């Protein structure tokens, strides 16, 4: 499920610039930030139902590149010229088979919950003139719970971003991305086991690994003062055939619209 994945991976915005903090910074360069806003999201990846949910986040980054934030968790990042790298450990996404705080849906009744579990991630970025290339790998471990229907799974996201405008009206950035998942990822988020089929309205579906989705993001940021900015983001993801063929999927095009205020100090 793509952040939507951004839970629903996208969604929880907040800390994109933190993971490139330089290890040679001085001790007084500790950075702190908080963000709050609201987002309109699908209830789960592939849903045609929507919900409005709050965005609340916090972040801290040390002068040595160690960071802690509500989006990724605890990690370390650094930058060497045009090359940047970060790695972290934090909570994975989850899904409920009932309506719960803007996530999950009662349409999934009988599918069981996909529980939050530990997730490891790494990001490699390269600044290529007007474009920024990125590759992000994450792996979520198996949760030891009989009530958890999720498997241990891995995913890979490739992205290309660029700045379209920067001036008196703020900054407009755009990116395109492609998400791939292994068989366990696809089965966790889009598959229906024989047990789930017997307990729900859906027929059994064995999801194969491969392309999950292709998408694009458009982000407008407007500085309000030296410490505060207003950001609005539109994310669009088009599910690949292996995901779209799932009986869980009612809508192939998934969109997330969010607005938030970020304050750093």
Query: What is the per-residue pLDDT for 228?
Result: 97
User: What pLDDT is stored for residue 202 in this prediction?
Assistant: 97
Query: Which positions of the chain have pLDDT values less than 50?
Result: 1-27
State phi, psi for 18 to the nearest 5 degrees: -75, -35
Phi and psi (nearest 5°) for 138? -130, 150
CA pair distance 237, 3, nearest whole angstrom: 10
What is the pLDDT at residue 142?
A: 86
pLDDT of residue 102: 75
Which pLDDT score is estimated for 11?
37
DSSP state of 20: G
Provide the pLDDT for residue 144: 67
DSSP per-residue string spanning 91-153: E---B-SS-BTTBS-GGGTTS-BB---EEEEEEEEEEETTEEEEEEEEEEPPP--TTB-PPPE
pTM of structure: 0.87
């Amino acid at each position: 499920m793509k952040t939507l994945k951004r839970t629903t991976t996208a969604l929880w915005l907040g800390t994109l610039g933190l993971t490139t903090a330089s290890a040679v910074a001085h001790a007084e360069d500790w950075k702190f930030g908080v963000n709050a806003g609201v987002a309109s999201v699908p209830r789960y990846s592939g849903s045609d139902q929507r919900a409005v949910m709050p965005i609340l986040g916090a972040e801290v980054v040390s002068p040595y590149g160690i960071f802690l934030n509500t989006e990724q968790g605890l990690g370390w990042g650094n930058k060497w010229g045009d090359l940047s790298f970060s790695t972290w450990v934090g909570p994975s996404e989850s899904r409920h088979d009932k309506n719960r705080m803007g996530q999950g849906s009662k349409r999934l009744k009988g599918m069981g919950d996909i529980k939050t579990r530990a997730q490891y991630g790494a990001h490699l970025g390269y600044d290529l003139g007007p474009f920024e290339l990125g590759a992000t790998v994450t792996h979520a471990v198996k949760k030891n719970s009989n009530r958890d229907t999720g498997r241990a799974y891995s995913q890979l996201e490739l992205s290309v971003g660029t700045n379209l405008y920067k001036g008196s009206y703020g900054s407009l950035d755009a990116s395109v991305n492609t998400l791939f998942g292994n068989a366990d990822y696809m089965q966790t988020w889009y598959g229906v086991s024989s047990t789930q089929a017997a307990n729900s309205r859906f027929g059994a579906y064995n999801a194969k690994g491969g392309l999950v989705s292709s998408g694009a993001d458009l982000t407008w940021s407007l500085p309000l003062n030296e410490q505060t900015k207003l950001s609005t983001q539109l994310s669009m993801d088009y599910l690949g055939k292996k995901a779209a063929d799932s009986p869980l999927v009612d809508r192939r095009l998934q969109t997330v619209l969010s607005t938030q205020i970020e304050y750093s100090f």
